[in-house]
Amino acid sequence: MKAIILAAGYATRLYPLTKNKPKALLPVGSKPILDHIIENILSIPVVDEIFVVTNERFYQHFADWKKESNYEVPITVYNDGTTNNENRLGALGDLKFVIDRANIEDDIIVAAGDNLMDFSLKALYDFYEKVQSCCVCVKEVEDHEIEKMAIVLMDESNRVTDFEEKPKNPKSNLGAFAVYIYTKDTLKLLDEYLRTGNNPDAPGNFPAWLYKRVPIYAYRFKGSCYDIGTHDAYAEVQKLYKDR
């Protein structure tokens, strides 16, 4: 299994903190967000390579970070060549960029570089081993969070029966978070998704399209997943992780 971390955004809502520093490298507790994510990914024993995708503006920051890192699996940092919000590839465009550039033909785990998880990704992998199909992480969310999330319905076997990105009329309070496992057989469907003109931006748009074509299962995690998209959200995780 390969891991792909999406870190090519420009995080304008966190200015001035992220004007000259990528969000994934902001410190939380004793280390950058990115290191928290990678350490969690490495709890999955079959992950044998990690790819981080960023942009032209922040590439050198990640290259410098990599020089100082010492992980037991190879880490490759890719520059998608974009320079601002106007010409960015979008999360799904970046996902395809990495798959193509690295010639990935394995199952993949995909994580957003600004989502801090305090649940074990090994538990997600164990769930994947049972269902042997694509997986998405879900949890019940508060009413005020629903409008900015992908919302999921699932059956008694945890198979996704409805998946809608930021719905105007949500059908449940089960929110999907930006952590996914995709089987190698479904990677070619990302090509079809993008080639036919679908939205390349939010990562939840792909599983919202994919669940109608292949089985996707929802892993209901225990714990929290913090989307560090605002100053308030960053301040919250700083408090929670200050002694870790």
Verdict on whether the full-model pTM lies above 0.85: yes
Which residues have C-beta within 8 Å of that of residue 136, sequence separation ≥ 6?
Answer: 152, 160, 163, 176, 177, 179, 180, 207, 216, 217, 218, 219
| DSSP code at position 78 | E
What rounded mean pLDDT belongs to the chain? 92
Q: Which domains does the chain have, with CATH numbers?
A: 2-240 (3.90.550.10)
More confident residue, 207 or 228: 207
Quote the CA–CA distance of 236 and 239 in Å, as a whole number.
5
Quote the CA–CA distance of 244 and 222 in Å, as a whole number.
19
Confidence of residue 244 (pLDDT cuts 50, 70, 90): low
For the residues 192-213, what does the mean pLDDT come to?
Answer: 94
Quote the CA–CA distance of 202 and 163 in Å, as a whole number.
13
Confidence of residue 224 (pLDDT cuts 50, 70, 90): confident
Contact in structure between 177 and 107 (CB atoms under 8 Å): no
Quote the CA–CA distance of 53 and 121 in Å, as a whole number.
20
For the residues 190-212, what does the mean pLDDT come to?
Answer: 94
Quote the CA–CA distance of 82 and 54 in Å, as a whole number.
9
pLDDT tens-digit profile of 39-58?
999 999 999 999 999 999 99
pLDDT tens-digit profile of 69-97?
999 999 999 999 999 888 999 999 999 99
pLDDT tens-digit profile of 135-158?
999 998 887 777 778 899 999 999
Q: Which residue has the tokens 């929110």?
A: 175
